[in-house]
Chain A
Amino acid sequence: MGVTELRTPSKPAPESTAALLRELVSHLGDNRTQLREEWIRRITEARLLQAMSKEEIFAEATSVYDSYVEALETRTLETLQTYAQNLSERIIPRGVETHEVVGIVLLLRDVLARSLFSKYHSDSRVLNGMLDAYEPAANAIAITVAVGFVRERERIIREQQEAIRELSTPVLQVRERLLILPIIGLIDPLRARQLTEQLLRGIRANRAKVVVIDITGVAAMDASVANHLVLTVESARLLGARVIVTGLSPEIAQTLVNIGVDLGKMNTVGDLQGGIEEAERLLGYKVMPFAETQPA
């Protein structure tokens, strides 16, 4: 998907573009220290990358500069792409924002363009040819770095979503034949279906008689998800399990009343503790302090 070949404008013939880029690369190589200093000065001035220390900025700027020159020299973006991805992996956890990454790459483009201006300002024909060769290459590099950064961010977001989904639906057995299903966070239709499936399978696998569904961690749910919850309770009953729902927030209580749930079918208890106590009662357990079981 990425742009791997630097595209050149149609006007100058490819060989002359290559020659110009070669000259450009040698210019950038000769003035490496000075241009890099100028670039870092502009970064600091624009208050970019403030999450990083001066030394870190210097180190990163050096490697970005070298990869940049290398990309111009080899006219392929593969090394730069890999570097951009590496860089993103390192700086995203530090809280570096998209505008900062795009900003520093554009600053480098500006700094280099200025240096071309000052070197060739006497000969506008050479300057034009130089810019014709430089601009598309520089833009392609800027796009590569920005896309690499955004793609890395999206990958992290996807990974986290996946992790949350996997974490979010544990079915736990707390006593023989008593399951707890704590639900935390937002419930969308996909997750609701997953929850139902896991719960019904769990009931069969653990031969559960009572299930406590705790939704203390759910702030609100829409009517379709609330309806789904009611269907889940009914399905569990067909498998011979009683369901106790605990921790309904005022908003959810309102939703359930608004969609007209038959409350006679739903066994609800205020909090998880109450729910577990009710479940133990249904299962015939009696929990008491150890001291009371000893003969006086």
Chain B
Amino acid sequence: MQVPILKQGPYLIATIQSALTDADIVLLRDALVERVGRDRARGVIIDVTALDVMDSFATGTLQDVAQMVRLRGAETVIVGIQPDVAFAMVHMGLTLEGVATRLDLEEGLDFLNRTTRASAHR
């Protein structure tokens, strides 16, 4: 299942709506990294509220997305990780090191507004 990527002002929002295969996640990664340049986006929000499992491949790939997006000049934030999912991930050592995480879409937008505005002033 393909993940729709919406453009909202200077941000791209990808809302994952059901469990994804590894191939789907790779597709999402490539699409996001590509769209950041094409749409001149300053931030990317990946919403995982609907996921009740996050395995090592998914977290690893999302981590890659965050790094690649940063190299292309934008910030990434992952939102909506469920409490049970979070604890299970941490138990497996999947801590999404170096990736910003926020409670939900609203918090994610707030985070991007702060960080990207700060960098625009530089």
Contact A239 B101, beta carbon cutoff 8 Å: yes
Q: Is B53 an interface residue (CB 8 A)?
A: no
> Is B67 on the interface with A (CB-CB < 8 A)?
no
- Known contacts A238-B95, A238-B96: does B83 contact A204 (CB below 8 Å)? yes
Residues of B within 8 A of A240 (CB): 79, 101-103, 107
Dominant SS among interface residues on chain A? helix
Which of B7-15, B16-24, B25-33, B85-93 makes up part of the contact surface?
B85-93
- B91: which A residues are within 8 A, CB to CB? 231
Q: Is B112 an interface residue (CB 8 A)?
A: no
Closest to B81 in A: A238
Distance from B94 Cβ to chain A, minimum over Cβ atoms (Å)? 9
Interface string of B62-101 (1 = CB under 8 A from A): 0000000000000000010101101101110001100001
CB <8 Å contact, B79 and A231:
no
A280: interface (CB < 8 Å): no
Cβ-defined contact, B79 with A200, below 8 A:
no
Select one of B84, B101, B104 contacting A237, CB under 8 A.
B101
Chain A residue contacts of B102, Cβ below 8 A: 240
* A207 lies within 8 A of B103 (CB): yes
A196 CA to B101 CA, complexed, in Å: 18
Considering only residues 89-148 of chain A, those with a C-beta below 8 Å from chain B are: none
Using Cβ atoms and an 8 Å threshold, which residues of chain A touch B95? Answer: 234, 237-238
Q: Which residues of chain B come closer than 8 Å to A207, judged between CB atoms?
A: 103-104, 107
CB distance from B58 to the nearest CB of A (A): 13
Contacts of A24 in B (CB 8 A): none
B89 & A238 in contact (Cβ 8 Å cutoff): yes
B90 near A231: Cβ-Cβ < 8 Å: yes
Q: Could you tell me the distance between the alpha carbons of A26 and B91 in the complex, rounded to whole angstroms?
A: 72
Interface check A154, CB cutoff 8 A: no
Residues of chain B lying within 8 A (CB to CB) of residue A204: 83, 103
Q: How far is the CB of A117 from chain B (nearest CB, A)?
A: 70
Check A203 for interface membership: any CB of B closer than 8 A.
yes
Across-interface contacts of B107 in A (CB, < 8 A): 207, 209, 240
State in angstroms the CA–CA spacing of A200 and B101 once bound together: 14
Q: Which residues of A contact B (CB under 8 A)?
A: 196-197, 200-201, 203-204, 207, 209, 231-232, 234-241
A and B contact pairs by CB, cutoff 8 A, 26 listed: A197-B83, A197-B87, A200-B83, A200-B84, A200-B86, A200-B87, A207-B107, A209-B103, A209-B107, A231-B90, A234-B90, A234-B95, A235-B86, A235-B87, A236-B86, A238-B81, A238-B90, A239-B81, A239-B83, A239-B86, A239-B101, A239-B103, A240-B102, A240-B103, A240-B107, A241-B103
